[in-house]
Amino acid sequence: MPTKTRLDPDAGGTSPSAEPEGAPGFGPGDNTASAPAASGAGDVSGFIDALTALSAHLRERELIEGGAKRSWGVLMLAALFLLGLQSVGDFLLLQTVPQHLQPEGTLSPLPFAALTGSAAATGALAAALLGRLLVRPIRLVQDSADRVALRHEDSPLRDRIRIAQWVLFDTAFTRFCLAERGLQGRVALGVLSVAAAGTLSVWLLVAAYGAAAGQGNTLAQVGAAYSSGQMGVLASFLALSLVSVLLTRSRALKELEDARHLARQVLTFDRDFGGFLPPIERTRVQAIVNARSRRPRPAPEPA
C-alpha cells in the first residue's frame, strides 16, 4: 500500500468525507471538486508557505546576528586604536619625563606609572573582551531549523503548526541571545570608556609637559609645573573612570532586567511548544533568570 507523503496527504486513497452523504458536491455524478482534495491542496500550499516563511526568518536572523558581530568588531578596532594612541603618548613622555623622575628630580614616578599603566591595562582588557564577543558564536549549539523543516508529521497542517511554533520560539531566543551578549558588550563598553579616559589623560600629560617646557623655564621649574599638572590629570582620570563605571552599572542593570524578561519568555515558549531548547542553552537561559539585579522592586499596589 502506498505510503502517504509530506506533499501529498491523499496518496494511496481518499480520506473519508466529513460531509453527510448527499451534500452539495458529494452526490453521484457530481463533477464538483471534492472537499478533501481542496483541503489537501490547501494544506500543501500552506506548508510551502510555512517553509518560505522559515527561510525568510533564517535570512533575517543572519542579518541581525551579522550586524551585532560587526558592531563588536568596530568597537574592538576602536580599543586597538586607543592602545596605539596610548603607545605614542607613552613614547613621547618617556623621551622627556624620565629626567624628572630621578632621585634628584622633582617628580614622583607613582602617578606617572599608575596613569599610563591603568590606561594600557583597560585598553587591552577592552580589546580582549570585545574580541571574545566577536569570535564566540551567539548560539552555543546549532539550532534545529533543519530538523523542524524536514520533520515528518502526520499531516502538512501539523508541519505548518510546528514550523510556525519554531519560528516564534527562535525569534524570542534570538532576542535573548543578543540581549545576553549585549550585557557582556555593555561591560566591555564600560572598560573601553575608561580606556578612552586614560588615553585622553596620557595626551593631557604630553600637553602639560610641553606647556611647561616651552616657556624657557629651568629644569626645576618645568618639573614643578608638570608635577601640578600631573596630579590634576590623574584626578580627572579617576573622576571620569568613576562616572563611566556608574553609568555602565546603571545601564547594565536595566539591560539585565530586559534579558530576564526575554529569558522567561523563551522558557515559556520552550515548555508550551514541546522543547526546542537544547540542555546547554536552557542552562544559559536559566542562569539569566536566576541572576540578581539588585534593583529595588516596585512596591505592591494596594488591594
Of 247 and 217, the structure prediction assigns the larger pLDDT to: 247
Tens digit of each residue's pLDDT (9 = 90 or more) over 97-143:
665 555 455 556 677 778 888 888 998 999 999 999 988 888 887 77
pLDDT at 16 over 80: no
Tens digit of each residue's pLDDT (9 = 90 or more) over 257-290:
999 999 999 999 988 887 888 888 889 999 999 8
Residue 8: its pLDDT value, please? Answer: 39
The pLDDT confidence band at residue 11, using thresholds 50, 70 and 90, is very low
Grid cell locating 134: 566577536
Burial of 283 (0-12, 13-18, 19+ CB in 10 A): exposed
Tens digit of each residue's pLDDT (9 = 90 or more) over 41-91:
556 677 788 788 888 888 898 898 889 999 999 999 999 999 998 888 888
Of 7 and 272, the structure prediction assigns the larger pLDDT to: 272
Grid cell locating 131: 574580541
Q: What is the mean pLDDT of residues 158-167?
A: 83
Q: Are 19 and 35 in contact (CB under 8 A)?
A: yes
Residue 179: its pLDDT value, please? Answer: 92
AA identity, residue 81? F
Q: Are 96 and 213 in contact (CB under 8 A)?
A: yes
* % pLDDT > 90, the chain: 24
What mean pLDDT, rounded, does the chain reach? 76
Q: What's the DSSP call for residue 295?
A: P
Q: Are 126 and 188 in contact (CB under 8 A)?
A: yes
The pLDDT confidence band at residue 15, using thresholds 50, 70 and 90, is very low
Residue 213: its pLDDT value, please? Answer: 66
Closest CA to 173 of 22, 64, 293, 252: 64
The pLDDT confidence band at residue 256, using thresholds 50, 70 and 90, is very high
* % pLDDT > 70, the chain: 67
Q: Are 116 and 202 in contact (CB under 8 A)?
A: yes
Residue 18: its pLDDT value, please? Answer: 40
